[in-house]
Amino acid sequence: MIPNDVILRSVTKAAIVIIFTFSIYLFFGGHHNPGGGFIGGLSVASGLVLLYLSFDIETVSKNIPVDFKKVAAFGVLLALLTGMSSLFVGKPFLNQTFGYFELPIFGKTELATAVLFDVGVALAVIGTAVTIILSISEDG
């Protein structure tokens, strides 16, 4: 890899925290503000790409031992399962519901099944994006 990329690596270490935090914000904020599963997932993927750029693919893979193909498949499966779950309570496929609960720390919070579906979307996006980039780079 590139020698003497101390600055890049240091900046990455600091920036990655911000990127991931922002991605999580985009993801959870998606319900009421711009953002959501797709953009959240893409920005996580871009954070991962930054990691791959500044460090080595092997190094990153050692620290994040995840098969992203499986992540993508799991995302699709999760989206499908949340859709299926509404069938068990006698509602049509993909019927989302929501409610308001008192939680210990957050106070009155809105919880929606749509968020679970969004998690599926985000995982599928992350998995696919990273799979594509990794396979292309390994080919070179």
Q: Which residues bind another protein (CB under 8 A)?
A: 26, 30-39, 42-43, 46, 69, 72-73, 75-76, 79-80, 83, 93-94, 96, 98-99, 110, 112, 114, 117-118, 120-121, 124-125, 127-129, 131-132, 135-136, 138-140
Taking the complex as a whole, how short is the minimal distance between the CB of residue 133 and another protein, in angstroms? 8
Least separation in angstroms between CB 94 and another protein = 4
| 51 vs 62: CA distance, rounded Å | 12
Smallest separation, CB 30 to another protein (Å) = 5
DSSP 36-88: -HHHHHHHHHHHHHHHHHHS-HHHHHHHS---HHHHHHHHHHHHHHHHHHHHH
The residue to which tokens 């069938």 are assigned = 87
